[in-house]
Amino acid sequence: MSTVTPTRTSHEAVPTADGHGTADRVGSGLFDPRQLLESFPDALRKLDPRVMIKSPVMFVVLAGSVVTTVLALTDPTDWFAWAITGWLWLTTVFANLAEAVAEGRGKAQADTLRRAKTDTVARRIIGPNEERVAGTDLRIGDLVVCEAGDVIPGDGDVVEGVASVDESAITGESAPVIRESGGDRSAVTGGTKVLSDRVVIRITTRPGETFIDRMINLVEGAARQKTPNEIALNILLASLTIVFLLAVVTLKPFAIYAGADDQTSLIVLTALLVCLIPTTIGALLSAIGIAGMDRLVQRNVLAMSGRAVEAAGDVSTLLLDKTGTITLGNRQAAAFVPVEGVTEADLADAAQLSSLADETPEGRSIVVLAKETYGLRERDQGELTGATWVEFTAQTRMSGVDLDGRKVRKGATGSVLAWVKDRGGRAPGDAAALTDGIAQAGGTPLLVAVEDAEGARVLGVIHLKDVVKEGMRERFEELRRMGIRTVMITGDNPLTAKAIAEEAGVDDFLAEATPEDKMALIKREQAGGKLVAMTGDGTNDAPALAQADVGVAMNTGTSAAKEAGNMVDLDSNPTKLIEIVEIGKQLLITRGALTTFSIANDVAKYFAIIPAMFAVAYPSLDKLNIMGLTSPESAILSAVIFNALIIVALVPLALKGVRYRPASADRMLRRNLGLYGLGGLVAPFIGIKLIDLLLTLIPGIG
């Protein structure tokens, strides 16, 4: 199997988490001469009618170019025919160049990945033995062994062991990650490198279908298919083209009847048709879609289809996990709250003692809080001779220590209360009120209890606080202005969930959520006609990711989650979902804005050409020649030249995208109509008049 070795070259091939990877470097110069030169042969190859037919509008332009070329050859001295022919061919090439430049940015990344490919030898397990086989011989279900220094031969899940893995070939992030069996961080990718320890991996993909292979296909655009909206817009553009074709064809009989036959030659009618059909958006439509995918790649997100990017722009409901997305994830000890009759110092001492063996971030924060707030020296486990440490388990939900006939426990409220009750003790009356108060404030209460000569009793509560990430409330407010409803998903109890939801500013929350609850929520939203987006990383998230319209799987998650989602976030950052929605909306806005501009352009070009064509036969039409164009030939040629140049001028906007500002749909529509609709009407009048003035300087035209 061909995989990618994590060399410096492949590291640079993919955009890094800070957004300064190859995609940015390649895309930074939209009109870099070298990039244009490299893309020009592709633009010429796209003149193949079998390729051009995919865009009906540009296929008509190609056909018109061929017709005018034939007509120009019949009279080599007709400068007007040759001028029209040359600019029609340039129009076709400019349209192909826009798409070629957009594709070239992705191909630059794919080429670098291909150069870094190498054949990998795998150690496949056969019964009690191992055999060395080529990576291309591996099949789904095979077990392979990888140790420190080995390149992982294919995509799979760790089924035994734990190891540190270098994923810089995929993510661009140099820091190693931990992959282990039995959890949501078991997925490994072919081409990454094991740095330490030993793992057994079950292969989950066939050769040639690995994540790396799909990544190459996606970034170079080979796997991109037209989205439903693109197909619908192409049908609309084709319909408009047919309408204008019929209209132009009928002009010939009218011209003969009016005695203006010399003004409506086939070359002139062809030029008129090309100027009236929506060539601008027809030329840029494909580039807009490719650029949208590229903007996701720049943010280390791989979309498995253009449909997913488009759906992200139409999302109306976001499902976001609380931990790690809305909050920092690592709860920190904020306060020690003793029950009546117990001092804070005694509670802090017991809490610190019971947390010395707790290596979790929560446990470490308890030790630090006791040290900094109450001056308690952090004791080393080695100093406490004879101590028996009680580790936290999912069954007991407690941890602690037995030392010198004294037992100290810290843990979940229900577990600690049951432990006290089993030893003949009971909780004081204010313990329940303290835990409820902390939960209602959005915190997590941990009870601390002790059993000594005085019996078993509760000493107080540790207040753990899950800190909401800075700026989240503002982000959710932006989403609300966009008409997007946010729902926080958490396993916390309803009281804690409500407090966090209010602090973060989300619209709703789902507490004590199970995989079935997530699936039911998605189906309810979709039943109401809404599109839903969510993130996930575990096998239990796979059904919901598959059901969601936009399912973003974390790269650190399981293979099942990555297969179920239609996007993969290489940075495994759950908040990336908000950026994905913004990119999707930017794609839709860009397509809509340029469509509006293109159609408005056609209206203006109509006023430039039609009056010039028939002013001789119908002098009253000269009143419509508001630009005062010099002659019919100058008017037609100016419109054709402007039609070609406007495509080039709009390529940067198509690739970069219209700037997105969170706003309601009505407000965005008014803004686009005002800016691009009005701009599309005004620009041709100015541009065509300037070109006409320049043409008058050429002898024989003025």
Kindly name the residue from 150, 213, 321, 602 that is annotated as catalytic. 321
Q: Which two tokens stand for residue 376?
A: 């308690």
Helix (H, G, I), strand (E, B) or coil at 627: coil
354 contact partners, CB below 8 Å, separation of at least 6: 399, 400, 401, 408, 409, 410, 448
Q: Do the annotations mark residue 562 as ligand-binding?
A: no
Beta-bridged to residue 199, according to DSSP, are 146, 161
**What does residue 64 show for φ and ψ, rounded to 5 degrees?**
-65, -35
Residues 268 and 613: their CA atoms lie apart, in Å, by 9
593 contact partners, CB below 8 Å, separation of at least 6: 658, 672, 675, 676
Q: Do the annotations mark residue 250 as ligand-binding?
A: no
Q: Do the annotations mark residue 327 as ligand-binding?
A: no
With residues binned 3-state (H G I as helix, E B as strand, rest as coil), the percentages for the chain, rounded to 5, are: 55, 20, 30
Q: Do the annotations mark residue 476 as ligand-binding?
A: no
Helix (H, G, I), strand (E, B) or coil at 335: strand
Q: Do the annotations mark residue 396 as ligand-binding?
A: yes
| Nearest CA-CA partner of 447 in 482, 476, 418 | 418
Q: Do the annotations mark residue 537 as ligand-binding?
A: yes
Mark out the alpha helices in 556-618 (DSSP H runs).
559-564, 576-614
Q: Which two tokens stand for residue 486?
A: 């946010």
| Nearest CA-CA partner of 435 in 330, 341, 339 | 339
Q: Do the annotations mark residue 174 as ligand-binding?
A: no
| Nearest CA-CA partner of 546 in 567, 527, 528 | 567
- What is the rounded (10 degree) CA torsion for 597, 603, 609, 613? 160
Quick check: 564 and 545 in contact, CB under 8 A? yes
Helical (H) or strand (E) element with 283: helix 279-298
Q: Do the annotations mark residue 109 as ligand-binding?
A: no
Quick check: 654 and 282 in contact, CB under 8 A? no
Q: Do the annotations mark residue 392 as ligand-binding?
A: yes
Q: Quote the strand ranges of 127-170, DSSP E.
A: 129-134, 143-147, 156-166
Quick check: 356 and 376 in contact, CB under 8 A? no
Helical (H) or strand (E) element with 196: strand 193-196
Q: Do the annotations mark residue 168 as ligand-binding?
A: no
Q: Do the annotations mark residue 517 as ligand-binding?
A: no
State yes or no: is 24 an active-site residue.
no
Q: Do the annotations mark residue 111 as ligand-binding?
A: no
Q: Do the annotations mark residue 38 as ligand-binding?
A: no
- Residue ranges for the known binding site for ATP are 358, 362, 392-399, 410
Active site residues: 321
- Residue ranges for the known binding site are 358, 362, 392-399, 410, 537, 541
- Residue ranges for the known binding site for Mg(2+) are 537, 541
